[in-house]
């Protein structure tokens, strides 16, 4: 008698976000960036403010009972010194940046945001403060945050922000929907691709996802993995050189995420300068488009 074989329980489809379908990068339409190159490069310059004695924040050393003066003041170095040194470097190399700002900066150090605006940089929404996560908010609270940040940026800078990066990349299930309903047109929250992606929302209007790095990003590397600046700088160079080679096959976007309290430290800036000089040399040869996230979004959404 043959042994009876029991049929296995069918395996179900896993839950999905439903925002976009899978598509291999090797099977997409080809195009060039506005200057005829195939690699777009941008700097996401995170300028942040944290509440004293409360909330979240990256740490240099062990967290102390509040007020945690060590870690708060280390982060504040970025606003007082590091950001200004970085802008001097960006000026020297004629580099535009996408400035991801907390609107609390308008109350704390408005001259810093003014300097970014005067440089012609794109101002991108990045919450009110990085001391909180928006994904923990109710729908009403999150919508209010998105709308209030957009209104404050427009009032103070004259720019209507098109892009958003959530503090700590924290999203609720409704965040893309609420972004569109608050007037934003692209998000930097997702690191799933090297090309811009259209995401569906409940309104029927697409929200664009512009690639934002979580590897070529000083917070995960220098703080999370405790990497020294020398290998991090080499990591940026290696990533750039390989993406430049890969862009012969399809258009790509490379973001570089920087925080001034990290890369604004003098010993790190020495290596950042070396990295950016190399990338700029390729820009000057016409091999890349050094741009901003908003310009990338504008191009792909209208081509």
Pairing of strands 207-209, 39-47: unpaired
pLDDT digits (tens, 9 = 90+) for 23-82: 999 999 999 999 999 999 999 999 999 999 999 999 988 888 999 999 999 999 999 999
CA triplet 41, 42, 47: central angle to 5 degrees? Answer: 160
Give the C-alpha separation, 108 to 210, whole Å: 29
**Could you count the other beta carbons within 10 Å of the beta carbon of residue 59?**
15
What digits encode the pLDDT tens for the residues 157-202? Answer: 999 999 999 999 999 999 999 999 999 999 999 999 999 999 999 9
Residue 288 to residue 37: CA distance in whole angstroms: 5
pLDDT of residue 1: 56
Element (H, E) at 209: strand 207-209
**pLDDT band, residue 11 (cuts 50/70/90):** confident
Q: Specify the CATH class of 39-302 in words.
A: alpha beta
Full-model pTM: 0.95
Domain ranges of the chain: 39-302
**Which residue in this structure is represented by tokens 């740490």?**
59
């Amino acid at each position: 008698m043959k042994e009876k074989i029991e049929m296995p329980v069918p395996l179900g489809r896993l839950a999905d976000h439903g925002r976009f379908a899978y598509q291999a990068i090797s099977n997409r339409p080809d195009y060039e960036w506005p200057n005829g190159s195939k690699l777009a490069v941008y700097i996401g310059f995170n300028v942040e403010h944290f509440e004293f004695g409360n909330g979240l924040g990256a740490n240099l050393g062990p967290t102390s009972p509040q007020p945690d003066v060590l870690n708060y003041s280390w982060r504040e170095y970025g606003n007082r010194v590091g950001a200004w040194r970085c802008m001097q470097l960006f000026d020297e190399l004629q580099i535009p940046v996408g400035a991801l700002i907390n609107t609390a900066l308008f109350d704390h150090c408005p001259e810093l945001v003014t300097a970014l605006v005067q440089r012609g940089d794109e101002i991108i929404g990045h919450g009110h403060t990085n001391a909180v996560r928006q994904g923990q908010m109710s729908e009403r609270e999150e919508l209010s945050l998105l709308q209030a940040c957009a209104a404050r940026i427009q009032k103070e800078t004259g720019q209507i922000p098109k892009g958003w990066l959530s503090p700590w990349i924290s999203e609720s299930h409704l965040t893309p929907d609420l972004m569109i309903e608050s007037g934003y047109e692209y998000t930097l929250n997702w690191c799933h691709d090297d090309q811009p992606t259209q995401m569906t929302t409940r309104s029927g209007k697409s929200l664009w996802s512009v690639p934002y790095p979580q590897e070529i990003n000083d917070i995960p590397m220098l703080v999370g993995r405790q990497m020294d600046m020398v290998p991090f700088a080499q990591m940026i160079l290696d990533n750039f050189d390989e993406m430049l080679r890969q862009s012969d096959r399809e258009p790509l976007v490379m973001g570089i995420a920087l925080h001034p309290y990290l890369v604004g430290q003098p010993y790190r800036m020495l290596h950042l300068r070396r990295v950016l000089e190399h990338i700029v040399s390729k820009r000057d040869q016409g091999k890349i488009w050094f741009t901003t996230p908003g310009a990338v979004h504008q191009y792909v959404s209208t081509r």
